[in-house]
């Protein structure tokens, strides 16, 4: 017998998915409001050409760099005898805990020569290569060594085995990671704005500032949205066929490691150098600027202790509320996706994942445009900002919520029901306690993401609200690097500490769930 979701569950899911689709709709309506003639004039002009070239060049270059570095690092960590593998395994993922605009701040304050394409490529590569490293390392761990051994025994040397046997098996993981890099490059705003590199996000922001919520930013948003959705669809297709069959999942041996001989010290040195570049430079530059006198005159925001404390409080406060609202929207969708099936379920879930392709700047712009006249009391309110966070980070929460609920066995819920508990009581007394560690991890992920969020906050923060991210932004925009340093330092510490705690807790929790 197929179970049907209750009316209330469906209603909550429709609300959540509808909320995600709302910015898309508003942007489309705003763009259509321009009329053909205006739209043509705005779209077919040199600026759009420059943006397309900048965007494609950067995506192409950064995807290749991330793929090369991510794959090489994964192979050396997983399959070679390079010394210090455990340390490198941690350090290679650590850049994910540093917001890209903080990395950008560090590099641009090191040298103004990094403004523009090469700086953007550098920042994107050091920030996003873990998106390739992680799936590729996981695929290497899962790989059956028998194939490689067969290839070796047939006379292939190590490089030939890698290119003819290992790489083809890595393809799904590698392509998926590369598309994630491309998508993240498309939606990134702060890092490029600080590097004065023009992409669609920065152009949308300029158009918004110059004309507020008119047709121009909406039209640019539409182009960006199409590019993002194309990336997301490609990623979905790659993931769909991402299965390299292995008949008879018998006991698989652990793959043996290749011995690098004396070269392993060189490999270790390269890992150290790379860690210095990705983590050492951001940390070092923040510490350097902390030691400098604090731009008393050039800084728009003086970095007094109370200003830093206020901004930190605002960031954490918004992070907590944002995580709460996002979880409230993700939970019904997660329950629906994990416990029910059917086309309605698939449709609602896919709609929510679509948010992954909607850049923060587009969400924020749509919400401004919607509320400035129509839903007046929400304009410039904290709730509107939280709503934007919820839309942007719903997919992030949904992935974890869904897997947490999948691991809580449905049979136990049915037992609860058969013993006379109501649906609500089953949810409160069986499902949620079982899924609690996974749900906690999801909330923590969203908390970190909201606390370090810049774009939506910049457009939607209520008058008088400044977060750590917006203060770093304000000071760095006027080159007052020393004044920005305390805000950047607190932001980086919160982000890294929360990520570290999460990794530890989530690791332990997932081990518990598996056992």
Partner 1 sequence: MKRYAAVILATGLVSSPIAARAQTLTLYSAQHEQVVGMLTAMFTKQTGIKVQVHTGEGPDIASQILQEGADSPADVFFTENSPELNFLDEKGLLGPVDKSTLAKIPGKYNASDGDWVGVLARENVLDFNPAMISESALPASLLDLQKPEWAGKVGIAPSDADFLPLVSALIKQDGKTAALAWLNGLKAGAKIYQDDESVVAAVARGDVAVGIVNNYYWARLETDLGSQKIDSKLYHFKNGDIGGLINISGAAVLKTSKNAAAAQKFLAFLVSKPAQQALGESEVDFEYPLAPGVPPNKLLAPFKTLQPPPISVSALGDDQEAGLLLQQAGLI
Residue numbers of the site for partner 1 (CB under 8 A)? 46, 112, 196, 206, 209-214, 293, 295-302, 372-373, 376, 379-380, 463-464, 474, 477-479
What are 127's two structure tokens?
A: 């920030």
Taking the CA of residue 373 as centre, how many other CA atoms within 13 Å lie in the half-sphere pointing to its CB?
4
Secondary structure (DSSP) of 196-225 = T---HHHHHHHHHHHHSSSHHHHHHHHHHH
Identify which of residues 45 and 504 has a Cβ nearer to partner 1 in the complex.
45
CA 428 centroid distance within chain = 30
Least distance from partner 1 to the Cβ atom of residue 457, Å = 14
Least distance from partner 1 to the Cβ atom of residue 409, Å = 52
- The CA angle 62-68-72, to the nearest 5 degrees, is 145
Identify which of residues 206 and 510 has a Cβ nearer to partner 1 in the complex.
206
Least distance from partner 1 to the Cβ atom of residue 462, Å = 9
Taking the CA of residue 438 as centre, how many other CA atoms within 13 Å lie in the half-sphere pointing to its CB?
26
Identify which of residues 211 and 273 has a Cβ nearer to partner 1 in the complex.
211
Q: How far apart are CA 325 and CA 446, in angstroms?
A: 10
Least distance from partner 1 to the Cβ atom of residue 213, Å = 6
Give me Rg for the CA atoms of the chain: 24
Least distance from partner 1 to the Cβ atom of residue 482, Å = 9
- Specify whether the CB–CB gap between 460 and 388 falls below 8 A: yes
Least distance from partner 1 to the Cβ atom of residue 282, Å = 21
Identify which of residues 316 and 480 has a Cβ nearer to partner 1 in the complex.
480
Q: How far apart are CA 487 and CA 25, in angstroms?
A: 36
Identify which of residues 150 and 298 has a Cβ nearer to partner 1 in the complex.
298
Taking the CA of residue 226 as centre, how many other CA atoms within 13 Å lie in the half-sphere pointing to its CB?
7
Identify which of residues 244 and 379 has a Cβ nearer to partner 1 in the complex.
379
Least distance from partner 1 to the Cβ atom of residue 196, Å = 5
Number of neighbours of residue 322 by Cβ within 10 angstroms: 27
69 closest CA partner among 138, 130, 124, 121: 130
Identify which of residues 48 and 93 has a Cβ nearer to partner 1 in the complex.
48
Identify which of residues 203 and 345 has a Cβ nearer to partner 1 in the complex.
203
Overall size of the chain counted in residues: 515
Residue 206 vs residues 198, 203, 212: alpha-carbon distances, Å: 10, 5, 9
Least distance from partner 1 to the Cβ atom of residue 383, Å = 16
Q: How far apart are CA 472 and CA 450, in angstroms?
A: 15
Least distance from partner 1 to the Cβ atom of residue 352, Å = 31
Identify which of residues 243 and 373 has a Cβ nearer to partner 1 in the complex.
373
Taking the CA of residue 502 as centre, how many other CA atoms within 13 Å lie in the half-sphere pointing to its CB?
22
């Amino acid at each position: 017998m197929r179970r049907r979701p209750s009316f209330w569950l469906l209603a909550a899911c429709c609300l959540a998915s509808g909320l995600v689709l709302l910015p898309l709709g508003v942007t489309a309506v705003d763009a259509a409001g321009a009329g053909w003639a205006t739209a043509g004039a705005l779209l077919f002009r040199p600026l759009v050409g420059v943006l397309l070239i900048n965007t494609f060049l950067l995506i192409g270059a950064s995807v290749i760099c991330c793929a090369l570095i991510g794959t090489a690092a994964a192979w050396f960590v997983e399959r070679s005898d390079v010394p210090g593998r455990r340390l490198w395994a941690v350090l290679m993922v650590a850049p994910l805990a540093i917001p890209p605009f903080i990395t950008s701040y560090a590099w641009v304050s090191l040298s103004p020569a990094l403004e523009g394409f090469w700086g953007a490529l550098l920042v994107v590569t050091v920030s996003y290569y873990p998106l390739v490293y992680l799936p590729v390392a996981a695929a290497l761990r899962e790989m059956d060594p028998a194939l490689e051994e067969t290839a070796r025994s047939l006379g292939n040397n190590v490089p030939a085995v890698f290119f003819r046997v290992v790489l083809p098996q890595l393809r799904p993981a590698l392509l998926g990671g590369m598309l994630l890099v491309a998508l993240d490059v498309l939606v990134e705003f702060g890092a490029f704005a600080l590097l004065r590199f023009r992409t669609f996000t920065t152009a949308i922001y300029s158009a918004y500032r110059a004309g507020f919520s008119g047709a121009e930013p909406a039209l640019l948003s539409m182009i960006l949205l199409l590019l993002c959705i194309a990336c997301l669809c490609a990623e979905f297709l790659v993931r769909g066929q991402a299965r390299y069959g292995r008949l008879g999942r018998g006991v698989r041996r652990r793959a043996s490691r290749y011995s690098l001989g004396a070269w392993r010290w060189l490999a270790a040195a390269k890992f150290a150098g790379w860690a210095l570049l990705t983590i050492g430079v951001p940390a070092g530059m923040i510490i350097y600027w902390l030691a400098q006198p604090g731009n008393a005159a050039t800084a728009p925001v003086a970095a007094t202790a109370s200003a830093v404390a206020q901004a930190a409080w605002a960031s954490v406060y918004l992070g907590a509320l944002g995580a709460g609202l996002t979880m409230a929207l993700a939970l019904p969708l997660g329950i629906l996706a994990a416990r029910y099936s059917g086309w309605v379920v698939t449709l609602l879930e896919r709609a929510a994942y679509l948010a992954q392709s909607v850049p923060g700047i587009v969400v924020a712009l749509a919400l401004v445009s919607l509320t400035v006249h129509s839903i007046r009391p929400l304009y410039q309110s904290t709730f509107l900002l939280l709503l934007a966070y919820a839309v942007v980070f719903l997919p992030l929460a949904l992935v974890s919520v869904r897997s947490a609920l999948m691991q809580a066995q449905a049979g136990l819920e049915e037992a609860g029901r058969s013993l006379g508990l109501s649906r609500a009581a089953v949810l409160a007394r069986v499902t949620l306690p079982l899924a609690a560690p996974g749900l906690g991890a999801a909330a923590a992920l969203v908390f970190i993401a909201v606390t370090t969020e810049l774009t939506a906050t910049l457009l939607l923060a209520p008058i008088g609200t400044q977060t750590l991210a917006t203060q770093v932004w304000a000071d760095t925009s006027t080159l007052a690097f020393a004044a920005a340093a305390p805000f950047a330092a607190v932001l980086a510490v919160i982000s890294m500490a929360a990520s570290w705690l999460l990794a530890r807790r989530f690791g332990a929790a997932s081990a518990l769930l598996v056992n």
